[in-house]
Amino acid sequence: MTASYVIIGDGIAGSSAAETLREEDPDADVTVITDEGEALYNRILIKEFAKGKLPEAPISIHDDSWYDERNIDLKLNTLVTNIDTDAHTVGTHEGETLEYDKLLVATGGTPTQLPVENSDADGISHFWTFQDARQIKDGMEAADDAVIVGAGLLGIDLAAICGAQDVSGKYLMRGNAWWRYALSEEGAEIMHEAMRERGVEPVFESGVDRFEVDDDGHVTAAIDPNGDRYGADFVGIAIGLNFNTEILQDTDVKQDNGVVVDQYMQTNVEDVYAAGDLTRFYDVILGEYAQNGAWGSAKEQGTIAAKNMIDPESEEFRWVSSYSITHFDFPFLSFGHPTLGDDSAEMKHSDTEWRRIAIKDGKIVGGVLIGDLSPQSAYKKLMRDEVPIGDQKEILMQEGFSVDDLAPSKEQ
């Protein structure tokens, strides 16, 4: 019998699942549904478009013919509005009902709105889609002064766009450092200095209390909780994601700030799988549930989900995620879960070289490397292989560290 697979979302998770399903089950019916008006594009590169450094064309990954050639039914501009897991159907905003044997939910997230006065004013943008990037590019090109909010990996993209577009920027952060959950002040200061060099001034112990607007409803300033006023005709906000899980509200699919899946990307409801940013997955390396918000991880989850949709529990997701930033003169990479752990080790080797690893139960669970990325494969291997590092933190921090430098583990 021909199997019928329905995938909701044509981001990298949904799209890689569709590709794998077609490769491994050539006769199956495969349908991909997306509410966006364009097929898979490279979300990682939309920041380069917004900077004005890349045209639109190279950002697209698949055009319609990619789906036609693989006999995958792509439904653009189609919002899934409900799922009936008993009847094995999904419904769309146009009233269409599609039946599935196996369903993959790969709907990612939507940027969290800042819950303050006037946060929906003209000139204020959030960052997730290609459409957002077009709006940000236009907004930055027309702006004199910008305010950036959100001291994480997407906020720094907005700061870098600001710098690249020669707009004077204030980067308002709630704490005393950028991405303070993963970096110490010493490491973060390297990033702060790089922002300053591009004309974006970090402002600490700040944030936004409200926005001011002109008579046309366009933003004119951000007022922070200290009462300080930052004039801006453009504001970029990246304070996190709300996962797109409304469609699961009438189902028994378990959620816990994300869709809960096991290491096979399977939810608690039969024939329903999930992949990508919106999952809270069982991380077999950590031995607990975790989340990743990274392209490579979403791609791998889509592939693994597809394999298990065809052959249940045939392949587990075992993955050390990584995320790099290329805006500055030095490279930056975070891997694994740099904000977790009960211990850490860090070292500064020069003005632009710093590293920190997060340790949990005596094993590496993540880290951040600035300037010198050469130890990344060694750290990732130690994490993937769950190697106890014992009292060898100093060795791990040495320049030119390699796995062979560690004494053999007594546990092995």
Ligand X SMILES: Cc1cc2nc3c(=O)[nH]c(=O)nc-3n(C[C@H](O)[C@H](O)[C@H](O)COP(=O)(O)OP(=O)(O)OC[C@H]3O[C@@H](n4cnc5c(N)ncnc54)[C@H](O)[C@@H]3O)c2cc1C
Nearer to ligand X, 46 or 265 (CB): 46
The mark string for 302-341 relative to ligand X (x by CB under 6 A, - otherwise) is ---------------------x------------------
Nearer to ligand X, 29 or 35 (CB): 35
Which residues are within 8 A (CB) of 248 and not within 5 positions of it... i.e. 6 or more apart? 83, 105, 255, 259
Q: How far is the CB of 401 from ligand X (least distance, A)?
A: 24
Q: How far is the CB of 87 from ligand X (least distance, A)?
A: 18
Candidate segments 35-43, 183-191, 216-224, 369-377, binder of ligand X by CB under 6 A? 35-43
Residue 34 found at the interface with ligand X (CB under 6 A): yes
Candidate segments 62-70, 106-114, 185-193, 332-340, binder of ligand X by CB under 6 A? 106-114
Q: How far is the CB of 342 from ligand X (least distance, A)?
A: 26
Long-range contacts, 113-120 (Cβ 8 Å, 24+): 113/237, 114/149, 114/208, 114/237, 114/239, 116/208, 116/209, 116/210, 116/211, 117/210, 117/211, 118/210, 118/211, 118/212, 118/213, 118/219, 119/208, 119/211, 119/237
The mark string for 133-172 relative to ligand X (x by CB under 6 A, - otherwise) is ---------------------x--x---------------
Q: How far is the CB of 40 from ligand X (least distance, A)?
A: 8
Q: How far is the CB of 45 from ligand X (least distance, A)?
A: 8
Residue 107 found at the interface with ligand X (CB under 6 A): yes
Task: Look at residues 296, 304, 256, 300 and name the one whose alpha carbon lies nearest to residue 278.
Answer: 256
User: Which of 7, 20, 32, 47 touches ligand X (CB under 6 A)?
Assistant: 47
SS3 (DSSP) at 34: coil
User: Which of 4, 61, 128, 386 touches ligand X (CB under 6 A)?
Assistant: 128
Instruction: Quote the CA–CA distance of 206 and 143 in Å, as a whole number.
Output: 22
Nearer to ligand X, 157 or 224 (CB): 157
Which residues are within 8 A (CB) of 22 and not within 5 positions of it... i.e. 6 or more apart? 28, 30, 70, 71, 72
User: Which of 19, 35, 48, 300 touches ligand X (CB under 6 A)?
Assistant: 35
The DSSP secondary-structure symbol of 247 reads G
Residue 32 found at the interface with ligand X (CB under 6 A): no
The mark string for 241-260 relative to ligand X (x by CB under 6 A, - otherwise) is ---x--x-------------
Torsion of CA 210, 215, 216, 219, to 10 degrees: -30
Residues in 186-245 at the binding interface with ligand X, rule: CB under 6 A: 244
Per residue, the 3-state secondary structure of 248-293, as one string, reads: HCCCCCCECCCEEECCCCECCCCCEEECCCCEEEEECCCCEEECCC
> Which residue's structure tokens are 């600035």?
370
SS3 (DSSP) at 218: strand
Residue 9 found at the interface with ligand X (CB under 6 A): yes
Nearer to ligand X, 6 or 389 (CB): 6
Burial tier of 64 (Cβ tally within 10 Å: 0-12, 13-18, 19+): exposed
User: Which of 17, 18, 46, 265 touches ligand X (CB under 6 A)?
Assistant: 46
Which residues are within 8 A (CB) of 379 and not within 5 positions of it... i.e. 6 or more apart? 335, 357, 364, 367, 369, 396
Candidate segments 12-20, 193-201, 216-224, 370-378, binder of ligand X by CB under 6 A? 12-20
Contact residues: ligand X, CB under 6 A: 8-14, 33-36, 43-44, 46-47, 79-80, 106-109, 127-128, 154, 157, 244, 247, 276-277, 293-296, 298, 323
